[in-house]
Amino acid sequence: TAANMSRFVSRLLVVVSHHATARAVVSPRRIPLFIRPVSTSQGLQSLTRYDETTDWQKKLTPEQYVVTREKGTEVPFSGIYLNHYEVGMYHCVCCEAPLFSSEAKYDSGTGWPAFKEAHGTWERDESHASVIRRPDNSLGSAGTEVLCKNCDSHLGHVFDDGPDPTGQRFCINSVALTFKPRENNKPEKPEEN
């Protein structure tokens, strides 16, 4: 069926994207993986919690469902947020948790939106960010998956070949995100976390 083919293509692209970034995996600048508990972050408590009874297939488009709930990958250079540089916040398409600020966005040249850090990161402390990292060995090589801390949505992967000062490259699917422009378009004040 078309759905199965779409899923196959998505899986294939995961493999391709991993090969394209293979050198990141062996980089000596790799920082330790941070596995964070889900429930300790302030500010997430007001968001609705989702569980296994949530009907994601009803809530999401088929493309959003395959990427966020089945760990698919959108076709490179196809995403609506790849060349998108409005000022604002990129939220989780599933639960609307704020994930990445436009200030952290940059052009990585890989075909997916890239961010140098997650919103709420303080230096390298991601305990107040809305993302979690999880080792991904599904392809036989060490990778790090990025998920929404609030609803467990698959967002993409993170690599350590990003720009200074973080050295991080969050490679995120456009379809996992929804953008909200900042009111007044004013630069964001530094936030205390």
Binding site for Zn ion (CB under 5 A): 92, 94-95, 97, 148, 150-151, 153
- Cβ 148 to Zn ion, closest distance in Å? 3
Name the minimum Å distance from CB 184 to Zn ion.
26
Task: Please say which residue, 46 or 83, places its beta carbon nearer to Zn ion.
Answer: 46
* Cis ω for the linkage preceding 32 (within 30 of 0): no
Minimum CB distance to Zn ion, residue 179 (Å): 15
**Do 92 and 147 form a contact (C-beta atoms < 8 A)?**
no
Q: Which CB atom, from 14 or from 177, has the smaller least distance to Zn ion?
A: 177
Question: Would strands 88-92 and 98-101 be described as parallel, antiparallel, or unpaired?
Answer: antiparallel
- Cis peptide, bond prior to residue 76, ω within 30 of zero: no
Question: At 157, phi and psi to the nearest 5?
Answer: -135, 160
**Residue 93 near residue 141, CB atoms below 8 Å:** no
Q: Is 171 a catalytic residue?
A: yes
Q: How far is the CB of 104 from Zn ion (least distance, A)?
A: 18
What's the CA gap between 29 and 164, in Å, rounded? Answer: 12
**Among residues 145 and 160, whose Cβ is nearest to Zn ion?**
145
Least CB distance to Zn ion at residue 106 (A): 23
Name the residue nearer to Zn ion (CB basis): 1 or 46: 46
Both structure tokens of 26: 């062996």
Report the distance separating Cα 68 and Cα 117, nearest Å.
Answer: 20
Which of 92, 95, 151, 171 is labelled catalytic? 171
Of 126, 97, 115, 106, nearest to 156 by C-alpha is 115
Q: Which is nearer to Zn ion, 151 or 158 (CB)?
A: 151
Cβ(115)–Cβ(172) below 8 Å: yes
Catalytic site residues? 171
